[in-house]
């Protein structure tokens, strides 16, 4: 609430002077509030209408400080919630009215016919606004500080660019388009995301939020790794740009909807040559295809899209890792964060065949070291003397049979890149001590040399063993274990992430079809067996199974081959499918198979259930199973199964 000021300019100036004198204390330079009796006396005077409801004490404070505010190199104005000017210093009067006349009681709309609306919106939002530029004052930028207790009033500070430019240089120049930039971004049909130098999404327009299917309020303020952690996209271009400083273009797929967009990420540099922002532009590939093709070919499949000359689509960041499951997506999200921050020591744990080396390469490829060497050594593959020589190198004459000129170890040849120590649990204790010294000091010595060398490489270690158990058994150093576990990632086994099996199988099928020039497919029987199998050998075993089936199957579809081979194994005998009649589960690997018709119904029903779980509609089911949409509808009715759309509606209709 604000204090009344006389409506007459001369009377206002007189009272301001009197009040100012009354508020001067005996101590020089100190301003104190007037006595309560004086305030009450003034409050009993006639209040101008434009100050109705204003607080007396606060207005007195502003008036008393006015001579001091007149000395500031900026305009300062106090307004109430209706846009009436309560007081303004000398500079504000000149900027707003072109003269030094008193503006008390004037409405902003009289002085700023177009810009007053923006100011009132900002004041009523009760949030501070900086950098406002109004059409009437193109050479000024405005800072607004709302004051909630002043009836939605605010203090406005006007900074004249012409006055500040000699001190700030060209950085103070104001682009007349600045007030409209946010509107341009929001109205763009392309998705636009602005990321700061730390990887934080600071601006996301509606089109970009629509692509990932998340409200932009949940995206803004998040690190870009959030998109991987929540399994929304298959790659993040902005991290590549922050790492390399170069623009990157790539086709990115939404993992939930399957929608593909052409993304281009470009860096914005400051005057010091450092990246301040990354601008990410996303365009729906369907719209690009429609623009480039004749009308009769506008509905060509996305898979057939081929970039035209000049459309450089980079493979930067492309990985063989699959993370359709939440468990694997969380691991990949954490790995992305570690890569972005260039963490130098990471431990990757997981069973044999889960893809630890792929994850190590993913971290390297998405870090600032991506253009440096990636050196890989298996600690279990070499005897102790050779392993030490390979890691640390040796000088000439270090041992019998050594190279006469000596040899650099992997720590040296890795340079500023990454050294991947696979199966570190098998490393001998003597070498573990030297490795710990290196991790602590980044210094080492070649075998046979007293010269201390330094290395800048990152070290990623991997093991399929329990390091704590090895420590207990005195087979692994506890201090080294603590050092390695500072940043640790554990890849879940494939049996605990069945959502990834179908995608991995498709990747493997495409890979081996290309290698052996075949055109094998996976029929419903094959899908059923692949998703039910437990994979004790994890991803490596899945790829081996697909490779064997592609090469040796005598039919185009590999389902029969998988049944005749995989189900004969110990794990295969455990695969059971549900009977269509609801009878107890029967094993496909048992000696007495079910009746042929019953087995067929059993497989079809199970395949449909699996497809429904992974699809949004009958079109997705048809694509998943390789049959027509009409056939899908008939089979759903035959087995009494609900389509994904009907299931979602029933769930949405349930009361909370």
**What's the pLDDT score for residue 656?**
44
Percent of the chain exceeding pLDDT 70 equals 72
Does the predicted model carry a pTM greater than 0.95?
A: no
For residue 488, count CB atoms less than 10 angstroms from its CB and return exposed for 0-12, middle for 13-18, buried for 19 or more. middle
User: What mean pLDDT do residues 551-577 have?
Assistant: 77
Contact yes or no for 48/6 (Cβ under 8 A): yes
pLDDT bucket at 150, cuts 50 / 70 / 90 = low
Q: What pLDDT does residue 130 have?
A: 67
Dig out the tokens for 436 from the structure.
Answer: 């710990």
Average pLDDT over residues 602-607: 81
CA distance 534 to 493: 10
Contact 433, 426 (CB under 8 A): no
Q: Does 116 or 46 have the greater pLDDT score?
A: 116
Average pLDDT over the chain, rounded to whole?
A: 75
Mean pLDDT of 403-413: 83
Going by pLDDT thresholds of 50, 70 and 90, the confidence category of residue 542 is very high
**pLDDT-based confidence at residue 274 (cuts at 50, 70, 90):** confident
Q: Regarding predicted confidence, which is higher, 502 or 602? A: 502
Higher per-residue confidence, 288 vs 248: 248
Query: Does 517 score more than 70 pLDDT?
Result: yes
- Alpha-carbon gap, residue 380 to 427, rounded angstroms: 7
Least confident of 229-233, 504-508, 529-533: 229-233
pLDDT at 378: 92
pLDDT, tens only, 469-479: 999 999 999 99
Residue 329 buriedness (CB in 10 A; 0-12 / 13-18 / 19+): buried
pLDDT band at 48 (very low <50, low <70, confident <90, very high): very low
For 566-618, the DSSP string reads GGGSTTGGG-EE--TTSPPPEETTSSSPPPHHHHHHHHHHHHHHHHHHT-SSH
The pLDDT tens digits for 253-266 are: 777 777 778 888 88
14: confidence class by pLDDT, cuts 50, 70, 90: very low
The mean per-residue pLDDT over the stretch 574-597 comes to 45
* Pairing state between β 275-284 and 260-269: antiparallel
Q: Is the pLDDT of residue 66 over 80?
A: no
Q: How confident is the model at residue 303 (pLDDT cuts 50, 70, 90)?
A: very low
Which pLDDT score, from 0 to 100, does residue 11 have?
Answer: 43
Kindly report, residue by residue over 443-464, the tens digit of the pLDDT. 998 888 888 899 889 999 999 9
Q: Is the pLDDT score of 295 beyond 50?
A: no
More confident residue, 1 or 499: 499
Lowest-pLDDT range of 199-203, 279-283, 401-405, 461-465: 401-405
Which pLDDT value is given to residue 424? 94
pLDDT of residue 398: 67
Low-confidence winner among 49-53, 344-348, 533-537, 600-604 (lowest mean pLDDT):
49-53
Mean pLDDT of 78-102: 85
Query: For the CA atoms of 231, 237, 240, 245, what is the dihedral angle to 10 degrees?
Result: -150
pLDDT digits (tens, 9 = 90+) for 389-404: 889 988 876 666 666 6
**Structure confidence by residue, pLDDT tens digits, 103-126:** 888 888 888 888 788 888 878 877
Question: Whose structure tokens read 């194994």?
Answer: 569
% pLDDT > 90, the chain: 17
Q: What is the pLDDT of residue 576?
A: 52
**Span of 251-265, 332-346, 471-485 with lowest mean pLDDT:** 251-265
Cβ proximity of 126 and 120 under 8 Å: no
- Dihedral of CA 9/14/19/24: which sign? positive
pLDDT of residue 97: 85
> For residue 496, is it left (φ>0), alpha (ψ between -120 and 50) or beta?
alpha
Segment 421-449, tens digit of pLDDT: 999 999 999 999 999 999 999 899 888 88
Rounded Cα distance between 409 and 387, Å, is 10
Higher pLDDT among residues 175 and 345, named by residue: 345
CA distance 585 to 579: 6
Residue 57's nearest CA partner among 154, 124, 150, 123 is 150
Per-residue confidence at 174, pLDDT binned at 50, 70, 90?
very low
Report pLDDT for 347.
Answer: 94
Quick one: pLDDT at residue 509? 92
The residues that bridge with 24 in the sheet, in sequence order, are 31
């Amino acid at each position: 609430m604000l204090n009344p000021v006389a409506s007459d300019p001369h009377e206002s100036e007189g009272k301001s002077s009197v009040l100012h004198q009354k508020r001067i204390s005996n101590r020089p330079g100190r301003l104190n509030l007037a006595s309560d009796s004086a305030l009450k006396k003034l409050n009993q005077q006639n209040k101008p209408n434009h100050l109705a409801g204003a607080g007396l004490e606060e207005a007195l404070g502003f008036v008393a400080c006015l001579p001091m505010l007149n000395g500031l190199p900026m305009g300062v104005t106090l307004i109430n919630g209706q846009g009436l000017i309560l007081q303004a210093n000398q500079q504000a009067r000149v900027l707003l009215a072109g003269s030094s006349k008193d503006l008390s009681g004037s409405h902003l709309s009289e002085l700023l016919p177009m810009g007053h609306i923006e100011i009132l919106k900002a004041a009523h939002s009760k949030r501070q606004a900086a950098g406002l530029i109004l059409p009437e004052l193109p050479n000024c930028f405005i800072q607004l500080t709302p004051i909630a207790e002043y009836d939605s009033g605010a203090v406005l500070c006007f900074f004249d660019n012409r006055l500040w430019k000699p001190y700030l240089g060209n950085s103070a120049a104001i682009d007349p388009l600045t007030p409209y930039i946010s509107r341009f971004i929001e109205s763009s049909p392309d998705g636009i995301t602005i990321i700061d130098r730390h990887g934080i999404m600071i601006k996301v327009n509606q089109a970009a939020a629509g692509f990932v299917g998340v409200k932009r309020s949940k995206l803004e303020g998040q690190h870009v790794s959030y998109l991987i952690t929540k399994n929304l996209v298959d790659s993040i271009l902005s991290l590549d740009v922050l790492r390399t400083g170069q623009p990157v273009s790539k086709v990115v797929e939404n993992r939930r909807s399957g929608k593909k967009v052409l993304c281009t990420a470009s860096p914005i540099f400051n005057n010091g040559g450092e990246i301040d922002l990354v601008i990410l532009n996303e365009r729906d590939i369907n719209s690009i295809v429609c623009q480039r093709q004749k009308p009769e070919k506008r509905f060509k499949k996305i898979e057939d899209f081929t970039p035209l000359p000049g459309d450089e689509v980079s493979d930067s960041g492309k990985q063989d890792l699959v993370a359709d499951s939440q468990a694997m997506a969380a691991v990949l999200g954490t790995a992305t964060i570690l890569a972005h921050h260039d963490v130098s020591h990471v431990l990757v744990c997981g069973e044999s065949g889960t893809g630890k080396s792929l994850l190590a390469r993913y971290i390297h490829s998405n870090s600032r070291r991506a253009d440096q060497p990636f050196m890989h050594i298996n600690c279990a593959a070499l005897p102790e003397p050779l392993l030490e020589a390979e890691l640390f190198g040796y000088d000439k004459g270090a041992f019998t049979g050594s190279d006469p000129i000596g040899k650099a170890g992997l720590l040296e040849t890795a340079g500023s890149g990454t050294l991947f120590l696979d199966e570190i649990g098998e490393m001998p204790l003597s070498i573990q001590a030297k490795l710990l010294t290196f991790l602590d000091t980044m210094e080492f010595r070649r075998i046979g040399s007293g010269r201390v060398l330094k290395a800048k490489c990152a070290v990623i270690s991997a093991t399929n063993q329990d390091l704590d158990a090895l420590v207990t058994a005195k087979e692994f150093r506890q201090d080294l274990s603590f050092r390695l576990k500072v940043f640790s990632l554990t890849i879940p086994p494939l049996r605990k992430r069945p959502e990834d099996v179908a995608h991995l199988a498709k990747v493997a099928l495409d890979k081996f079809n290309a290698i052996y020039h075949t055109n094998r497919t996976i029929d419903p029987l094959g899908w059923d067996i692949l998703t039910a199998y437990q994979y004790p050998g994890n991803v490596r075993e899945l790829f081996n199974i697909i490779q064997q089936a592609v090469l040796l199957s005598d039919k185009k579809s590999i389902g029969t081959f998988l049944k005749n081979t995989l189900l004969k194994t110990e794990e295969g005998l455990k695969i059971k499918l549900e009977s269509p009649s609801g009878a107890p589960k029967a094993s496909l690997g048992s000696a007495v198979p079910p009746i042929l018709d019953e087995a067929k119904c059993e497989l079809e029903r199970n395949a449909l259930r699996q497809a429904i779980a992974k699809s949004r509609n009958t079109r997705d089911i048809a694509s998943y199973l390789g049959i027509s949409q009409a056939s899908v509808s008939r089979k759903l009715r035959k087995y009494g199964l609900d389509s994904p759309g009907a299931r979602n509606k029933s769930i949405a209709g349930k009361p909370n």
